[in-house]
Amino acid sequence: MQHLNKAVVLLSGGLDSATALAWALDQGWTCTTLSFNYGQRHDVELQAAVKIADVYGITDHRVIDVSLGVIGGSALTSSLDVPKDLPASSAIPVTYVPARNLVFLSLAAGLAETVGAMKIVIGANVVDYSGYPDCRPEFLSAFETVANLGTKAGAEGQRFEVVAPLIHLDKSEIIRLGLSLGVDYGLTRSCYDPDAHGNPCGHCDSCLFRKSGFDKLGEKDPLNDQDSCIK
């Protein structure tokens, strides 16, 4: 049975996905959270996702193993170097992971169909991001159409909705929203290339976007006030 107030939330453990989860819960939705172990070098985010789900009282948090490293082609899943301190560019960076959101949303749709959720929530945004094509509104809209065409639920007249509440927000606006919802950003992990203890490099795109967001608000990133190694 499908439920209009039930959602599957993609929870990477990062700043954006934690904010999207807090937003979904604020809508009064019952949430199942979903993370992916896809061979990412920054797998410390998976530990962060567990902690975030626990803080929010999520009773159904799942992790799916998807070895995107077999495909390769990304600095996040291979031996390619993560770019550091690069100027803004319109080129799609080497941190793009081929088919990542296509695969993740497909599996999220399968889980949503199984648990009776009609909403799939993703923390994608197109303002402060690295130029990934699978974060664009037109991609999310197209995937929503595919999910409704290619599932039993869709064939029976139900309708999945891909919800991206942060899609047009810059990083500072995302952080402002999260702070208003009580998100503890000290729990989140954003770095693409952390050290062996989970400490952020401070120089990759993700670290730089995060820093600029807190700086623009005049807020201090709580991750900088603690030992960032997740124990």
Please name every residue paired with 6 in a beta bridge, in sequence order, or none if there are none: 30
- Per-residue pLDDT reduced to its tens digit, 147-182: 999 999 999 999 999 999 999 999 999 999 999 999
Identify whether the C-beta of residue 10 lies closer than 8 Å to the C-beta of residue 123. Answer: yes
Average pLDDT, the chain: 92
DSSP letters, 8-34, are EEE--SSHHHHHHHHHHHHTT-EEEEE
Please name every residue paired with 36 in a beta bridge, in sequence order, or none if there are none: 64
CATH number, domain 3-225: 3.40.50.620
Which residue type does 201 have?
C
Residue 141 in tokens: 């809209």
CA distances from 12 to 40, 50, 143, 154, 190 (A): 11, 9, 19, 27, 9
The answer to whether the pTM exceeds 0.85 is: yes
Q: In sequence order, which residues have a C-beta less than 8 Å from that of residue 227 and are 6 or more positions away?
A: none
pLDDT for the residue numbered 4: 72
- Report which of residues 231 and 37 the model is more confident about: 37
What's the CA gap between 182 and 231, in Å, rounded? 23
Identify whether the C-beta of residue 126 lies closer than 8 Å to the C-beta of residue 136. Answer: yes
pLDDT for the residue numbered 123: 97
Please report, rounded to a whole number, the percentage of residues in the chain having pLDDT higher than 90. 85
List alpha helices for 71-204, DSSP H: 100-115, 137-149, 152-155, 171-180
Backbone angle region of 65, left / alpha / beta, with phi > 0 → left and psi within -120 to 50 → alpha: beta
Please name every residue paired with 117 in a beta bridge, in sequence order, or none if there are none: 3
Domain map (residue ranges) of the chain: 3-225
pLDDT for the residue numbered 103: 98
Mean pLDDT of 4-29: 96
pLDDT for the residue numbered 1: 55
- Per-residue pLDDT reduced to its tens digit, 81-132: 999 998 767 788 899 999 999 999 999 999 999 999 999 999 999 887 678 9
Residue matched to tokens 């929203």: 177
3-state helix, strand, coil in the chain (%, to 5): 40, 15, 45
Q: 116 — phi, psi (to 5°)?
A: 80, 30
What's the CA gap between 197 and 200, in Å, rounded? 9
